[in-house]
Every structure is written in C-alpha cells, then in structure tokens.
Amino acid sequence: MTPAPTPTPPAEAELTQAAASLDRLVATLQTVLFGQEELIELVVSGVLARGHLLLEGLPGLGKTELVKGLAHALGLTARRVQFTPDLLPGDITGNPVLEETPTGRRFVFQRGPVFANILLADEINRASPKTQSALLEAMQERRVTAGGETHTLPDPFFVLATQNPIDLEGTYPLPEAQLDRFLFKLDVHSNPPEVLKRIVLNRELGAEPVVAPVVGREEFTGLLALVRRVHLPEVVADYIARLVHASQPGASAASAGVRFGASPRAALALAAAGRARGLRHGRPHVSFEDVQAVARSVLGHRIILDHAARLDGATTAGVVEKLLAEIPAQAKPLPGTLAAAKIS
C-alpha cells in the first residue's frame, strides 16, 4: 500500500488570510453569543474540521442562536428540525411522493430538511432511536438513501445538534454509534452576571440578532480545503495514538473504570480537530497544545464508564483530564532520576 501523498502545508499568506477570515467569523459569533469565547472557538474548529457538533446545555443558553448565527455568518443554507418523539425518519430525510406527470404517475423523492448545509437538530434526544438512526448515513457518508435511490447531500454538510441534559422523561439517549459520529460534544455553561448584563442591555426578548455573512461560501470551502493541508507532525500523530490507546480499559492508570475506550474514529477526529485549531491559530502544523485543547470535547463522549466507576462518581471528563496528565508529549517516559519541571 502506498502512503497517501503529503499535502503541501499552507503558505504564510494563506495562513494570514485564513486567520483574518476566521477572526471575522469568531467576532461575528461573539455578537450572537456573549461570554462563550471558548465554546465559539471550539464550534469554529469543529466546523473547519467538517465535524458534526452536539451541544448540550440547559434551555435558553443560546445554543440554537449560535447555530443559526453560524449558518448566517457563513452564508450557508440552514434548516432547523425540532425533534419530537413522533418524528419519523422520512420527516428528516424526505419521502418518495406519488406525483402526476404528463407521462403518468411516478414517485418523486421529496427532499427533507437534511438537504441543507447545516441541519440544526434541536433537542435530538427527544426523537425515537429509529429517527435518530436516520441521521447515521447522512452524518457519516453525507448522503441519503430512500426508495432505493441514493441522494448526495450538499457540500459542506454539518449536523449541529442540541440536547437538554435535565429532561429524562420522553427522551431517548443517543446510542454510542450515533454519539461517535459527532466530532465534538460541547457543554454550554450558564453565564456569569456580567455576561447576563450584556445580554440584557443588547438583546430583546423574541428578537433575533441580525447576522450578516462574513465568510462567503467559496471562501469557507477554501478554508475547509486549507485545513486538510495543515501538517500533522509524526510526533503529534504518535501522541494522538498514545492518548487514544491509553483510553482503553487497562491500558493506563487513567483508564481505570473505563468500560469502552475511544475508537480509531476518535483518533481521526483528534487529528482533524487539531488541524482546524492549528489553522485557526495561524499555524501550518498541528501542535501538542492543539490536541490537548480539543481532547476533552473529542474524547469525552466516546469513553464509556462501567457502572462501578459511575457509582463512585467518576466522569468521562475526569478520565480525559487524567489521560492528559498521564500521557506525556514525548514518546518515552523520563527516568526515575528526573522529573518534568513545573514551568509557569
């Protein structure tokens, strides 16, 4: 098997231009959602990595506004679907409809809301597993098969889903296979008083913020292509591999209580998200810091704890923190007569 050709790393000028575009995008999103700079950075990185995002948080924190603002800022088509228990797969993917034509009756595929650049799946955990599964093919292969025909989804295609962590009645937790297809699972936290004050002063109930497109579709497509050219050094790839492997049960001290570790798709997700973050910070390569910055969002929902660990109060976020602390950037451990210095 011949290795994949190494893409040319982005040039300095390309990096500068990309950084400027992304700065505009981030600045625009910060006018939509106040006080969530880190979340916005991760959302932008996730989108640049062509990943699907799952936002989890209490109602009213601005999850939907952020997704809509992102769609507007990028000038992409966006559809929103409110997931409910009675939602059917065809309500998302589309249905074949019997149509009267001059040549006779025939079934014509009526496209569903999934045929958009951005699908906002609001409260995705309220739909039945069957409906949730309808998104699997769309998310992984970016196409829909209905009535024996396969329909390709628009490019780019993202699913930005939200879910409410407190309502358990009438919800269907996403299965692991579905969760694994989300690049990031991002927690949307509540706002501190100063941010709330900004919201009260700048917003009005029921009035949506006006967001103008700041990054054109072509420009955004160019950014997506540029991300793929970001160089992944072998030492960083090795770090990703060791990090993901260490999440397997028994592979490290940090994985105590883990029932199932992260999958190889998680390693790919780390690399892709690392590339996107590298570009966001104007670098032609991925750094260890990039991987560490996205590891919590990439690995957190892909690690499954056993019951005993959960009863002991362990969390996947805690496991990821331990993994990051335990696995060093360098491949070999330091000898016992040396220790890494604490550098502030």
Partner 1 sequence: MISPASTRRFWETRATALAWRINFAAWLALAAPASFFVASAFSIAFYALRRADASLATAWLALAAALALAALACAWRARRGFFNAAEARVLIESQLRLDTRLTAAAAGLVAWPAASGHPPAVVRWRLRAAAGWLAASVILLSGAIYAPVPRDAGGVHASGPPPALRQTESMLAALKEMNVADAQSVEQLAERARELARRPPEEQYSHSALEAADELKNQTAVSAASLARGLDSAAGALNAANNEPDMKGAAGRLAAALSGLRDGALPPNKDLLANLPAGEIDLKGLSAAQRAQLAQQLANAARGLRGVAGAAGAGAQVAGPDGKGVGAGGGPGGGGGTAPLSFAKDASDAGDGNAQALTGDALKRFALGDKLGTTRGAHDVDPANAVGPVSAGAVAAPASGGEAVWVDRLTPAERSAVKNFFK
* Cβ–Cβ under 8 Å, residues 176 and 129: no
Residues touching partner 1: how many (CB under 8 A)? Answer: 29
The residue from 27, 196, 225, 235 that contacts partner 1 (CB under 8 A) is 235
Q: Is 128 in the site for partner 1 (CB under 8 A)?
A: no
Q: Mapping DSSP to helix (H, G, I), strand (E, B) and coil, where does residue 169 land? A: coil
* Cβ–Cβ under 8 Å, residues 275 and 10: no
Burial class (CB in 10 A: 0-12, 13-18, 19+), 104: exposed
Q: Is 13 in the site for partner 1 (CB under 8 A)?
A: no
Helices (H), 89-167: 89-93, 129-141
Helices (H), 142-247: 176-180, 193-202, 217-229, 234-246
Which span (78-86, 109-117, 180-188, 333-341) binds partner 1, by CB under 8 A?
A: 333-341
Neighbouring CB atoms inside 10 A of 5's CB total: 6
The partner residues of 159 in beta bridges, in order of sequence, read 119
- Checking phi first, is residue 117 left (phi over 0); if not, alpha (psi -120 to 50) or beta? alpha
- Please give the single-letter amino acid code of residue 6: T
Q: Which of residues 79-118 bind partner 1 (CB under 8 A)?
A: none
Q: Mapping DSSP to helix (H, G, I), strand (E, B) and coil, where does residue 65 land? A: helix
Q: How far is the CB of 289 from partner 1 (least distance, A)?
A: 6
Q: How far is the CB of 48 from partner 1 (least distance, A)?
A: 17
Q: Is 229 in the site for partner 1 (CB under 8 A)?
A: no
Residue 87 vs 271, nearer CB to partner 1:
271
Residue 111 vs 281, nearer CB to partner 1:
281
Q: Is 16 in the site for partner 1 (CB under 8 A)?
A: no
Residue 307 vs 332, nearer CB to partner 1:
332
Residue 135 vs 236, nearer CB to partner 1:
236
Q: How far is the CB of 331 from partner 1 (least distance, A)?
A: 7
Which span (203-211, 217-225, 233-241, 300-308) binds partner 1, by CB under 8 A?
A: 233-241
The residue from 25, 44, 74, 286 that contacts partner 1 (CB under 8 A) is 286
CA-to-CA dists, residue 173 to 93, 124, 165, 296, 299, angstroms: 21, 9, 10, 20, 18
Burial class (CB in 10 A: 0-12, 13-18, 19+), 54: buried
The residue from 68, 283, 296, 322 that contacts partner 1 (CB under 8 A) is 283
Q: Is 3 in the site for partner 1 (CB under 8 A)?
A: no
Neighbouring CB atoms inside 10 A of 206's CB total: 5
Q: How far is the CB of 276 from partner 1 (least distance, A)?
A: 15
Q: How far is the CB of 272 from partner 1 (least distance, A)?
A: 17
Q: Is 236 in the site for partner 1 (CB under 8 A)?
A: yes
The residue from 281, 306, 315, 321 that contacts partner 1 (CB under 8 A) is 281
The span from the CA of 217 to the CA of 224, in Å, is 11
Which residue reads 């976020």 in tokens? 317
Q: How far is the CB of 325 from partner 1 (least distance, A)?
A: 13
Neighbouring CB atoms inside 10 A of 211's CB total: 18
* Cβ–Cβ under 8 Å, residues 17 and 220: no
Q: Is 201 in the site for partner 1 (CB under 8 A)?
A: no
Q: Is 340 in the site for partner 1 (CB under 8 A)?
A: yes
Q: Is 289 in the site for partner 1 (CB under 8 A)?
A: yes
The residue from 96, 156, 209, 328 that contacts partner 1 (CB under 8 A) is 328
Q: How far is the CB of 27 from partner 1 (least distance, A)?
A: 23
Q: Mapping DSSP to helix (H, G, I), strand (E, B) and coil, where does residue 126 land? A: helix
Residue 9 vs 318, nearer CB to partner 1:
9
Which residue reads 């060093």 in tokens? 328
Could you list the residues that contact partner 1 (CB under 8 A)? 9, 231, 233, 235-236, 281, 283-290, 328-341, 343
